[in-house]
């Protein structure tokens, strides 16, 4: 008997929003963005010690079309005395594939210990 096929949950599209006023709250930012699409989650990045907003946030939206509408509507728009910067984040797998071929790999190379010319010539003093 075959199990019924279930559709995996659609991947959320992550959006970077920067350049908004530092005193703006999550609710105010969601209200601004939700005029152009539905926001699933929001995270305003804050300083760990002081809790002061660093001026950028990440939002997740359910589909790419709404995310594109948000970017088209809000990128470069003035808000207070600042200018908004809104971009769709590229996920890590796509970013790794887009790297230039001349760049070093992200993994650490394996090192092999090579003996030097003075190795084994001197006897080490024994510990007391």
Q: Report the C-alpha gap between 86 and 61 in whole angstroms.
A: 13
Residue 59 above 70 pLDDT? yes
- The partner residues of 83 in beta bridges, in order of sequence, read 78
Question: Would you kindly state where each structural domain of the chain is located, as residue ranges?
Answer: 20-90
Please tell me whether the overall predicted TM-score, pTM, comes out greater than 0.85 for this model: no
Contact 83, 96 (CB under 8 A): no
Each residue's pLDDT tens digit, 71-126: 999 999 998 889 999 999 876 545 555 555 566 656 666 666 666 666 666 666 77
Q: What is the pLDDT of residue 117?
A: 65
Q: How many CB atoms lie within 10 A of CB 14?
A: 18
Averaged pLDDT score across all residues of the chain: 80
CATH match of 20-90 with 3.90.1170.40 = no
Q: What is the pLDDT of residue 12?
A: 87
């Amino acid at each position: 008997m075959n199990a019924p096929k279930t559709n995996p949950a659609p991947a959320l599209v992550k959006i970077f929003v920067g350049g908004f006023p530092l005193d703006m709250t999550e609710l105010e930012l969601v209200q601004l963005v939700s005029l152009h699409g539905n926001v699933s989650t929001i995270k305003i990045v804050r300083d760990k010690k002081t809790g002061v907003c660093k001026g950028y946030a990440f939002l997740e939206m359910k589909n790419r079309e709404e995310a594109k509408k948000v970017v088209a509507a809000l990128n470069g728009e003035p808000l207070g005395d600042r200018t908004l910067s809104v971009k769709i984040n590229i996920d890590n797998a796509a970013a790794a594939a887009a790297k230039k071929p001349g760049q070093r790999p992200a993994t650490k190379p394996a090192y092999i210990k090579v003996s030097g010319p003075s190795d084994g010539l001197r006897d080490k003093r024994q510990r007391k």
